[in-house]
Structure formats: structure tokens, C-alpha cells
Amino acid sequence: MKNFRFSLYHYLRSSQCQVSCHGTRQRLFSASQENIAESKKGPLDGIRICDMSRVLTGPYCTMILGDMGADVIKIERPDGGDETRGWGPPFVESESCYFLSINRNKKGICVDVKHEKGKEILYNLVEKSDVFIENFVPGKMSELGFGYEDLKQINPGLVYASISGFGSHGPDHKKPGYDLIASAMGGLLSITGQKDGEICRPGIAITDIMTGMFTLNAIIAALYERIESGCGKMIDASLFQTQLAMLSYVGAGVLNSNIDAARYGTAHPSIVPYQIFDTLDGKIVLVVANDVEFNNICKVLGIAEISSNEQFSINEKRIENREELILILQNILQSKTTNEWSDLFEGREINWSRINNVKQAFDSPLAQDLNMIQTFQHPTAGKIKVPGPAMNYGNNYNINNTPPPLLGEHTCEILKNLLNYTEEEIRTLVELNVVNE
């Protein structure tokens, strides 16, 4: 397989990459050749993202693209910007922790895209971009003149990613996309919570975040395909599709058995034991994935004989006799403290963990070693910390490392240096309230 960066570099310089737009206008499908040639920041250095997404799904996706070195330009409306700027507490000074957590490594520009001169700015940005991403209700972008069919006339090599709640067509396509609604409609809530207790919402907006991740994968695949085809691509992602895809083995089980899934709390429908247990002074998680591991845990707990008991010797039998086995294990585990079990489990190939709270997780030596806390010096909030990227690229930790932008922080810079607007033109745009400085 061709090296992605090498192929992109040479493709951008080839004659295939030049197309006619608006009659005589010529452009390159990707970002400037100079940026590619000087690429030192990360695997996506030289790729420009025109980001019209807001809230969580799209911004999470574009943040990771920024982590990979892409030049992300976040476009916000002048009257307040991204809704998450106001989502709190907690705040750091006047900055929402929610917004800070998903908008690092981006430049911010404020544009009224309903104004004709604002539309012109967006079209100029699209012409110089590789990817356009938005998460408005289907049809809204086309109404404004920014649908895929509109923008590909300006930039035939554009990868256009549209994220919605329930797809671009169908009976629910006009519904706003909210994580909790998609989780309810897509089955996740029905299997989350204690067996005989209340349905629970997962602790984070997992459907939103996973939709961002799936969209990210599709964008990178489309960029790779463009190297050979010279063409852009329309990517249509939705929370509902993501939710159904995420059901994975649970979904396959229902589809093939025609038996609906149930709630198991922290337990697993197909593996026993696999859940939370009480100790004398707390709680631990215990995972036993196969018969060898079951033998190991039985020896440590002092009940080696039950590992050969016909009721429990294989996983299938352990599932059949789940309640009896869990009661036996729970009675033993409640007899010692968490620290005592920790000493007994050490070096015994036992899969277990304490249940950390979020602060303990970030304070852990493992999180420190993996560089999972990013620190920024923010222009108004001062020192801020956010969760770091989930991956490292070779020896490059935190390839990009710039704080989330203030509202419109880079408007003049982008208009002047990227789009070649004059000082006088920028002053006029500000006076017309088309942009914020």
C-alpha cells in the first residue's frame, strides 16, 4: 500500500489535481503545496478543514483531525458562537469546560453566513479546503447555498461530511439530533441499567462521540481515495446509524436469535463472572474471560474445587448457573478489603480493577505515563487542562498543542493571510457585522 503522505505530496503536484471551477478559476484539491512540503507537525499536516459543526459530535471529530496536524478552521456565528460556550458549570473563568474539552488545535472565525458577503467568505474558504463538515438538520445547508452539490462546483475535490440525528432521508430525517434521543430510539438505553432497576443514561454522550469517530474514519478514507480518483466525496453520518452499529454483538444476538436483549447492570450476557463485586470496604471489577482464568480465580479465592464442578466448569454452564455462582463469589469477596484482595491478586494473572472516580483515573501513574492530560495557557482562562488524545504518533506526543479559540479570535488573521482580504475590506466587513474581530 502506498504511503499516504508520500502519495498525497506527489499527487498535489500532479496535473490531475487541477480542475476548472467557475469557468476559468483553477485550484488545487488540497491545501497549499508549501504547507505540504514543510510538513513537520503530523500525519495530516497540509490538510485544511472547514468546520461548520457545533456542540459535540462534529467538534470532537475535527479536534482529532487537528490533533493529527490538520489545519482546522472553526466557523461560528457572531451572536454567541457554538452553543457549548455557554454550557456549564463548570467554567474556567468565563470559559465553559465543555467547549474547552473538544475544541483544541483549531482556529476560530466568526462569520454571518446568511449575509451575502459572509457567504462569499465561506465559499472562499471552501475553495482552499480539503474537508467541509457540518451537523445541521438535513436540508439546512442546501437552503443556505452550502449543500454538497453547491460546494463541489467550487471545489470538486472537497470531502463533504454531513452529520445528522437520523440520516438525510426517511421519516425522521428532520428531527434534531440529540444523543439521548438517539440512544433511546436505537436501543442503547433499553440495555443500560440494573436488571430489575431503572434505565440509566450512560455517563457520557457515547453516541455523539462515536459518531464523531466514525465520521473521522470516513473522512480519512475519503482523503486517501481522492489521491487516486481526484474526486471528493459526500459522507452522510447519523447518530441513529452509529447507535445501531455500536450494538455489535448484542445486535447480532437479537437479529439471529429473535430474542430481545436485556439489562445486566455491570454483568455480561455471554461471560460469567464479568461484573462489579462488593469487597469489605468498597467495590472491584472482576473479569473471567475463559476457563483457565476461572481456574485461577477459584484458586486465589480458596474454592479450587468448584472450577471442576459440572455446574461451573465451562462458560456455558456458568451462564446457566449465573445467580448461584455470583452469590458464592460475592460472599467470599466481601470477606476482605480491596487492598487485601489487591495483594492476593498481584502476579496471579487475575483480571480485576478498583473502580476509580474520574479524578483518580487522571491522577493515576498510567494516565501520567501516557500523557493523557494536556495543559494549555488560555488567553482569558489562564492555565487549563483537558483530556489528551487517545493515540500517540511515533515519538510525537500532542502533535498540535494550541488552546481552544476565543470567539472569532482568528477572524482577521484568516481573512488577511489565507483569503487575501485587504485591511479596508476587513474593516467594511466588521462595520457590516458580517464578521467579528
Q: Are strands 131-134 and 48-51 parallel, antiparallel or unpaired?
A: parallel
Q: Which of 82, 130, 179, 208 is catalytic?
A: 208
SS percent in the chain: helix, strand, coil, step 5: 40, 15, 40
Q: Are strands 233-238 and 274-278 parallel, antiparallel or unpaired?
A: unpaired
Report helix, strand or coil for 171: coil
Rounded CA gap, 106 and 65, in Å?
10
Give the max Cα distance, the chain.
Answer: 85
Q: Residue 335 CB: number of other CB atoms within 10 A?
A: 12
- The secondary structure element, H or E, covering residue 107 is strand 107-110
Q: Residue 15 CB: number of other CB atoms within 10 A?
A: 5
Rounded CA gap, 319 and 288, in Å?
12
Nine-digit cell at 288?
Answer: 473471567
Q: In what order do the strands lie in the sheet with 283-287?
A: 274-278, 283-287, 351-354
Rounded CA gap, 251 and 187, in Å?
9
Q: Which residues contact 324 (CB under 8 A, 6 or more apart)?
A: 311
Q: Residue 147 CB: number of other CB atoms within 10 A?
A: 18
**Burial letters 44-77, b for 16+ CB under 10 A, else e:** bbbbbbbbbbbbbbbbbbbbbbbbbbbbbbbbbb
Strands (E) in 187-273, as ranges, are 233-238
Looking at the DSSP assignment, which residues form a beta bridge with residue 71?
Answer: 48
Rounded CA gap, 264 and 255, in Å?
19
Bond before 171 cis per omega within 30 degrees: no
Nine-digit cell at 86?
Answer: 455557554
Q: Which residues contact 12 (CB under 8 A, 6 or more apart)?
A: 28, 29, 30, 33, 36
Q: Which residues contact 229 (CB under 8 A, 6 or more apart)?
A: none
Residue 208 a catalytic site member: yes
Work out the angle at residue 417's Cα, subtended by the Cα atoms of residues 414 and 418, and round it to the nearest 5 degrees: 65
Listed residue (305, 296, 298) closest to 333, CA to CA = 298
Would you please indicate which residues are annotated as catalytic (active-site) residues? 208
